[in-house]
A and B are shown apart, each in its own frame.
Chain A
Amino acid sequence: MSAIARILTPTGATLVALVLVVIALWFGAAIGETSIPFDVVAKAVANRLWAAGYPIAAIDEGIVWSYRLSRAVVAACCGASLALSGLVLQSLLRNPLADPYIMGISAGASTGAVAVVLLGFGAGFLSLPLGAFLGAVLAFLLVSLLASRAGKGSAAIILAGVAGSQLFNALTSFIVTKSANAEQARGIMFWLLGNLSGVRWPDVWLCLPVTLLGLIVCLLHARSLDAFAFGTRSAASLGVSVGRVYCTSIAVSAVMTATLVSLVGSIGFVGLVVPHAARLLVGTRHNRLIPVATFGGAIFMILCDVLSRVLLKGQVLPIGVVTALIGAPVFAVLLLERRAKV
Chain B
Amino acid sequence: MRLEARNVSWKAGGLAIVEEISIAVETGEFLGIIGPNGSGKSTLMGLLAGLIRPKRGEVLLEEKPIAAIDRRQLARHLALVEQLSDTTERMSARQVVELGRTTYLSLQSPWSGEDDHIVGQALGAVDMADKQDRLWHTLSGGERQRLHIARALAQQPDILLLDEPTNHLDISHQLGLLDLVCRQNLTVVAALHDLNHAAMFCDRLAVLSQGRLVTVGAPEEVLTADLLSKVFSVTASVERNDEGKVHLRYERSRG
Chain A residues within 8 Å of B, Cβ to Cβ:
1, 94, 96, 220, 223-224, 226-227, 229-231, 233-234, 236-241, 279, 283-285, 342
9 closest residue pairs by CB, A with B? A239-B75, A239-B103, A237-B80, A239-B72, A284-B89, A238-B102, A229-B87, A230-B85, A229-B89
CB closest chain-A residue, reference B103: A239
Report the tally of A-B residue pairs with Cβ distances under 8 A.
71
Asked if B102 contacts A224 (CB within 8 A), the reply is yes
Q: Which residue of B lies closest to A279 (CB)?
A: B90
Q: Given the complex, which residues of B lie within 8 Å of A229, measured CB to CB?
A: 87, 89, 91, 96, 99
Given contacts A238-B102, A285-B95, 19 further A-B contacts (CB under 8 A): A94-B87, A226-B102, A231-B85, A231-B87, A233-B82, A233-B85, A236-B51, A237-B75, A238-B100, A238-B103, A239-B72, A239-B74, A239-B76, A239-B103, A239-B155, A240-B71, A279-B89, A283-B90, A284-B95
Inter-chain CA distance A226–B98, complex, in Å, is 10
Q: Which residues of B contact A (CB under 8 A)?
A: 46, 49-51, 71-76, 78-80, 82, 85-92, 95-96, 99-100, 102-103, 105, 107, 135, 138, 155
B59 to chain A, nearest CB (A): 14
Main secondary structure on B side of the interface with A: mixed
Which one of B72, B73, B75, B100 has the highest number of Cβ atoms from chain A below 10 Å of its Cβ?
Answer: B75
Is A220 within 8 A of B107, CB to CB?
yes
* Residues in B neighbouring A342, C-beta threshold 8 A: 135, 138
Contacts A230-B85, A230-B87, A284-B95 hold; do A239 and B71 have CB atoms under 8 A apart?
yes
Expressed in whole angstroms, the minimum distance between the Cβ of A16 and any Cβ of chain B is: 20
Residues of B within 8 A of A230 (CB): 85-87, 99
Q: Is the CB of A238 within 8 A of B75?
A: yes
Instruction: Please name the residue on chain B nearest to A235 by beta carbon.
Output: B102
The 8 Å CB contact of B79, one of A96, A237, A241, A279, is A237
Nearest CB of B to A177, in Å: 41
Docked Cα-Cα span, A223 to B108, in Å, equals: 13
Contact at A96–B100, with CB atoms within 8 Å? Answer: no
